[in-house]
Amino acid sequence: MSDSFTASDLLQTTINFLAVGGLYALIALGYTLVYGILRFINFAHSDIVAWGGWIALTVASGAGWLASGQSPAFALPLVLLATMALCAAMGVTIERLAYRPLRKAPRLNVLITAIGVSLFLQNVGLLNKVFGNRPSTISALLSNDVLATVGGVHLRLYDMLTILLAVVLVIVLERIVYGTRMGRAMRAVAFDERTAALMGVNVNIVVSVTFALGSALAAAGGILFALRNDLRMTADTSWVLLGLKAFVAAVVGGIGNVRGAAAGALLIAFVEVFVHRYVTAAFPDKPWVGQLQDIYVFGILILVLIFKPSGLLGKATVEKV
Amino acid sequence: MKSLQDRVDRLRPGLPITVGKSVLPFAIAILLAFTMDKLIGPAVGATWSKILLDVGIAILLAGSLNIVNGYAGQFSIGHAGFMLVGGYLAAWLTFYGSIHWFGVKTPVGGFLGNGQLLFLGGCILGGLCASVFGVIVGLPSLRLRGDYLAIVTLGFGEIVRVLGQITDRQPKRIDDVKKIPMSDLLNNLGGAEGFSQIPGYTTLFFVYFFAFVLLVLAYRLKYSSKGRALLAVRENEIAAEAMGIDTTRAKVIAFVFSAFFAGIGGSLYAHQVGALDPKELGFMKSIDLVIIVVIGGMGSITGVVIGATILVVLPEIFRQFADYRMIAYALALITVMILRPQGIMGVKELWETSLWRKQVKALRAKLRGGK
Amino acid sequence: MNLNTWRGLRSVLIIAALIAAAACDKGKGGGSGSGGSGGAKPASGSIVIGHFASMTGPQATFGISTDQAIRLAIKEKNAKGGVKGRQVELVTIDDAGKQSEAATAVTRLINDHKAVAVLGEVASSLSLAGGPIAQKSKIPMISPSSTNPDVTDVGDYIFRVCFLDDFQGWVDAKFAKENLKATKAAILYDQAQAYSSGLADYFDKAFKELGGTIVTKQAYTGGNLEISSQLQSIKGSGAEVVFLPGYYSDAGTIIRKAKEAGITAKFLGGDGWDSEELPKIAGDAINGNFFSNHYAPQEDRPEVKNFVENYKKEYGKTPDGLAALGYDAALVLFDAMERAPSLDGPALRDAIAATKNFTGVTGTFSIDENRNAMKSAVIVEYKDGKQTMSARIEKK
């Protein structure tokens, strides 16, 4: 473990954690938006992420960009946009069919419905006629070139793209939520749905837009995840785990808060990648230390919730009597 | 004029009645468990006995979850974590214990013989340890409510699973095990391979005994002051607090009670499957249990029984539809939630529904008419 | 009030209707592998063999592969007149990759379908759940490909036709040490998979015994492939060989990422790597890496050639190791059935236990006193994205 604590190692670990954090942030935003407005945990969100990856595969292979091994440079942006649009439509449809009839029902019901939707998407995706039950890959869409070498560390196209895309999309979302009329309507509904409705806000449209935004971001997250880790079948636990971690990030950052989700994602990625790297390196003779990766994530969740239940950037709400 | 004390004393039933009332349900539980084991089990054949075992364990687990989710209104999605704790402890006691004390790995003794007593001890031990974890999980409810508490239970379940996966290998040869004292074997729970070769002690008798005991206790709890306190917490926590209910205490008690039976359920599960794989008792297992409770009706004891039966038996019947089985299940789940948000029974019990009352009334009228 | 109760009943009816609809749909699709439960009474005179497998769920590809090969074996056997002049019938029950369902599946095969013997499972954890039931009912069970040593420990009715993980770990260690001339090895294993963590331990032990050093041992959780920190540790450790005993679904991605992270050491894996998808996922990075397997489809033996040709004709793809083992498990069972005086449990058990020098697709082997197959393993190398046989390593 002689060269574990060098500057180049530190730089590489930092890049890794930023890229993972960006990925989590994109997915966490979907959770946070929906929770902020409807106050329920959208368990089907991770399945939209999974479908995003698989839809990208279908689109790309349908256009013949995967066959040649090397796809044209415009392929990835086109696939990204098409997938984001399709997933947005999917998110809106799911909300319309499954969640809207339950708008006034207890939240637990909506949650179980979300689990039902999640199981449905997982198992439909598994059918041979849909995506099938074998892993696949879309890595041909992005040649993972080395952009530059800084201090012995390769800066790779993928990592840079993830970080850039995450930053851009978070800023865009932030502008939408805090700078547009629709964003004001969203915040109004999140604050008090009935009053907002009385003030002339069309709650249904606001909710639809929220799902469209969240699902589009999920699709982007799904494609980035698939570029990084390839595609597992839709029912694979890796998607659930990915969703859980992104959700944990949203909660840790303060659920319902756009900046909080980004901050939470960075914190979760930090403990998962950075802390894990150096704690493991510090105990080379204790192999079980290397298996604590998931414990760091859920441990930080419980700690944050106990000491600051509203999350890092969440506002503590006073309960109305 | 008599004092109030005297009047209260006169209202109190005599000792024999009190004792009878507390013992009778358990006597009935034993009797029913016997019936399941000796009459119904052999009558339906091996396959349906196995399914009945699954149903019984599901009733026990979902019934215990119902205390937290249904009565106290706290949303727990880490129930499988308690199962895992209970299962591990019980498996540790019966597997290593059998080798140390009986010298074999297979079940020993007849009905309530040494082996089964050890197994019963294992169940209780598993339940007690799980309830210790129940305190740990329940305590954050001091500060957390609703979804946030749910997320903590989720984190707890995942952490228990990962901890189970990093335990040491399980020595399986009798000679190897005998060399190590019991207490040193507490970390040898099999890791990712899971704990295997657990002696198969679970029978219909034990499953239905514990299930009936849980149902009786749940029934008594529901109609006692403690239970009404829990229901009050569920309906409105602030109002409950204003009425003088110590809400944190009530919630922690619910968690402890629930975890105890989940631990027992976990040990029954472990001794039925013969193996304990932490991967199987993860987040999805917890969700399965929540679904049973919600489909059955949150807070309804009969609802849980009906929900557990339906959700275990239906997939079994429709096993041959393979790929479409889970899709149908998912659609059914969504449909029920939209058309019947309160679950099959709502908060009511079977005997509280109008349909049941009408039937009973009609039956009585018929009997009277028949005279 | 009354209305509510009726609504409850109505939703129950809707569930039933939905499932019935799904059932019809399935019926139209022509029920493929999974045998039915209702009314699947054995045709008079035919012998029923049970197979429990993951036909759905995350491990479905394993179960389907094995099931297809068993069906091929039965088809060929029946074409030759069956066993003892009777036709053989296969009933497959899906266990969805869950332990509890595996136990139910075996119970059903034995009690409802009156199977004379049970084949299954691929995953060791599911064999461990199904085994005790076969043992209690005194029905022989042959696992085609559960490599965990504990599986046959369950009782004297449980057999297997594959090698064990401790042997496989030793084979990989020996190959690394003697053929690749490596002295420093790293291990990267899936902590949540019994198969992977078990194999990692056996490799660890064997490699040290052969005089090598394990420079680092890293864990990941299957599916969570955020393993950049693990790869960095391996890169810095100076390992010449990385032992990666995971399933192909993880291994492909890991090999690709390892190459990107600048790891030049050769990767070495177990039979979990055997899939056509692996080179597709890993891309060019797969070339020059090795894994141990039960057989190599290119092997120049009549059994292998016949099997590969027939399987391709039937299913249009090259059979993987699991298919070969499923085929061999069925053949071992037929062989024992022919030799056994009767088809009841104990007689069949003794006949299987007496299998000596049986030549199947995966080589020539005997069943030893612990009911395991004594056999050799092959090492396969990836060249230009294709599997090529590199070495055969005989038993210890």
Is residue A98 less than 8 Å (CB to CB) from chain B?
yes
Nearest CA in chain B to C97: B280
- The secondary structure of C139-186 as a DSSP string is --EEESS---TTGGGG-TTEEESS--HHHHHHHHHHIIIIIS--SEEE
The reported pLDDT for the residue numbered C31 is 35
Q: Give Cα separations from C357 to B279, C326, C375, C393 (angstroms).
A: 38, 18, 10, 17
Sequence-distant (≥ 6) Cβ neighbours of residue A196 within 8 angstroms = A185, A188, A189, A203, A206
CB B262 within 8 A of CB B79: yes
In chain B, what residues touch C246 (CB-CB under 8 Å)? none
Residues 312-341 of B with CB under 8 A from C: 314, 316-329, 331-332, 335-336, 339-340
Phi, psi of B190 (to 5 degrees): 95, -10
- Encode pLDDT of A135-176 as tens digits: 888 888 887 777 778 777 778 888 888 999 999 999 999 899
Nearest CA in chain B to A117: B330
Q: Do A232 and C223 touch (CB under 8 A)?
A: yes
SS3 A12: helix
Residue A318 has pLDDT above 70, yes or no: no
Closest CA to A18 of A215, A160, A202: A160
Check: pTM over 0.90? Answer yes or no. no
The reported pLDDT for the residue numbered B190 is 83
What integer is the mean pLDDT of A47-76?
A: 85
Q: Hey, what long-range contacts does A164-169 have (CB within 8 A, 24 or more apart)?
A: A165/A22, A165/A26, A165/A220, A165/A224, A166/A21, A166/A22, A166/A23, A166/A25, A166/A26, A166/A262, A167/A22, A169/A26, A169/A29, A169/A217, A169/A220
CB C290 within 8 A of CB C269: yes
Q: Which two tokens stand for residue A59?
A: 């689109």
Please state, rounded to an integer, the average pLDDT across all residues of chain A: 86
Q: Residue B322 is nearest to which of C56, C124, C154, comparing CB atoms?
A: C56
In chain B, what residues touch C103 (CB-CB under 8 Å)? 50, 272-274
Nearest CA in chain A to C232: A9
Mutate to test the interface with C, among B95, B277, B319, B347 (most CBs of C within 10 A): B319
CB C227 within 8 A of CB C254: yes
Closest CA to A59 of A26, A34, A84, A82: A82
Q: Which two tokens stand for residue B151?
A: 């997320």
Q: Do C228 and A20 touch (CB under 8 A)?
A: yes
Q: Residue B140 is nearest to which of A109, A123, A305, comparing CB atoms?
A: A305
The reported pLDDT for the residue numbered A24 is 93
Q: Do A112 and B337 touch (CB under 8 A)?
A: yes
Exposure of B361 in the CB half-sphere (CA atoms within 13 A): 7
Minimal CA separation from B242 to chain C, in Å = 32
Label each residue of B9-65 as H, E or C.
HHHCCCHHHHHHHHHHHHHHHHHHHHHHHHHHHHHHHHHHHHHHHHHHHHHHHHHHH
- Encode pLDDT of C315-345 as tens digits: 988 898 899 999 999 999 999 999 998 888 9
CB C234 within 8 A of CB C256: no
In chain A, what residues touch C57 (CB-CB under 8 Å)? 235
What integer is the mean pLDDT of A198-203?
A: 91
Q: What is the dihedral of CA C326, C328, C333, C335, to 10 degrees?
A: 160
Report the alpha-carbon distance of residue C235 to residue B36 in Å, rounded. 60
Provide the residue type at B247 as one letter: T
Residues of chain B with pLDDT under 70: 1-2, 320-323, 370-371
In chain A, what residues touch C58 (CB-CB under 8 Å)? 233, 235-237
Percentage of the residues of chain C whose pLDDT score is greater than 70: 88
CB B286 within 8 A of CB B77: yes
Mutate to test the interface with B, among C11, C24, C94, C137 (most CBs of B within 10 A): C11
The reported pLDDT for the residue numbered C37 is 40
Closest CA to B76 of B344, B267, B257: B257
Please report how the helices B146-165 and B114-138 are oriented relative to each other, as an axis angle in degrees rounded to 10.
130
Closest CA to C283 of A55, A158, A141: A141
Q: How many CB atoms lie within 10 A of CB C2?
A: 11
Closest CA to B229 of B245, B215, B211: B245
Label each residue of B80-131 as H, E or C.
HHHHHHHHHHHHHHHHHHHHHHHCCCCCCCCCCCHHHHHHHHHHHHHHHHHH
Mutate to test the interface with C, among A4, A233, A238 (most CBs of C within 10 A): A238
Closest CA to C52 of C116, C97, C112: C97
Please state, rounded to an integer, the average pLDDT across all residues of chain C: 84
Provide the residue type at C388 as one letter: T
In chain C, what residues touch A1 (CB-CB under 8 Å)? 216, 233, 236-237
What integer is the mean pLDDT of A44-48?
A: 93
Name residue B196's beta-bridge partners: B275
Q: Do C36 and B320 touch (CB under 8 A)?
A: yes
Q: Do C223 and A238 touch (CB under 8 A)?
A: yes
Q: Do C23 and B318 touch (CB under 8 A)?
A: yes
The reported pLDDT for the residue numbered C396 is 65
The reported pLDDT for the residue numbered B88 is 95
SS3 C323: helix
Q: Residue C260 is nearest to which of A2, A20, A156, comparing CB atoms?
A: A156
In chain A, what residues touch B294 (CB-CB under 8 Å)? 108-109, 112
Q: Do B344 and C12 touch (CB under 8 A)?
A: yes
Closest CA to B277 of A208, C342, C99: C99
Exposure string over B11-29, b if 16+ CB within 10 A, otherwise e = eeeeeeeeeeeeeebeeeb
Phi, psi of C220 (to 5 degrees): -140, 165
Provide the residue type at A31 as one letter: Y
Report the alpha-carbon distance of residue A139 to residue B126 in Å, rounded. 48
Report the alpha-carbon distance of residue C31 to residue C16 in Å, rounded. 20
Provide the residue type at B329 as one letter: Y
SS3 B312: helix
Q: Could you say which DSSP state residue A202 is in?
A: -
Percentage of the residues of chain A whose pLDDT score is greater than 90: 38
Residue A294 has pLDDT above 50, yes or no: yes
CB B247 within 8 A of CB B200: no
Q: Give Cα separations from B129 to B135, B260, C109 (angstroms).
A: 10, 8, 37
In chain C, what residues touch B172 (CB-CB under 8 Å)? 150, 153
C36: left (phi over 0), alpha (psi -120 to 50) or beta: beta
| pLDDT band at C16; cut points 50, 70, 90 | low
Q: Residue B50 is nearest to which of C93, C104, C128, comparing CB atoms?
A: C104
In chain B, what residues touch A234 (CB-CB under 8 Å)? none
In chain C, what residues touch B314 (CB-CB under 8 Å)? 15, 19
Q: Residue C229 is nearest to which of A16, A133, A229, comparing CB atoms?
A: A16
Is residue B44 less than 8 Å (CB to CB) from chain C?
no
The reported pLDDT for the residue numbered B104 is 83
Q: In what order do the strands lie in the sheet with C386-393?
A: C213-220, C184-190, C241-243, C266-269, C290-293, C377-383, C386-393
Q: Residue A4 is nearest to which of C56, C230, C233, comparing CB atoms?
A: C233
- Encode pLDDT of B129-141 as tens digits: 999 999 988 888 7
| pLDDT band at C203; cut points 50, 70, 90 | very high
Q: Could you say which DSSP state residue B75 is in?
A: -
Residues 213-272 of B with CB under 8 A from C: 269, 272
| pLDDT band at A305; cut points 50, 70, 90 | confident
Residue predicted with more confidence, C129 or A128? C129
Q: Which two tokens stand for residue B315?
A: 């997939």
- What ipTM describes this predicted complex? 0.83
Q: Residue C221 is nearest to which of A9, A12, A294, comparing CB atoms?
A: A294
| pLDDT band at C27; cut points 50, 70, 90 | very low
Nearest CA in chain B to C53: B322
What integer is the mean pLDDT of A1-8?
A: 64
Exposure string over A272-303, b if 16+ CB within 10 A, otherwise e = bbbbbbebbbeebeebebbbbbbbbbbebbbe
Among B165-169, C8-12, C221-225, the least confident range: C8-12
Sequence-distant (≥ 6) Cβ neighbours of residue B361 within 8 angstroms = none
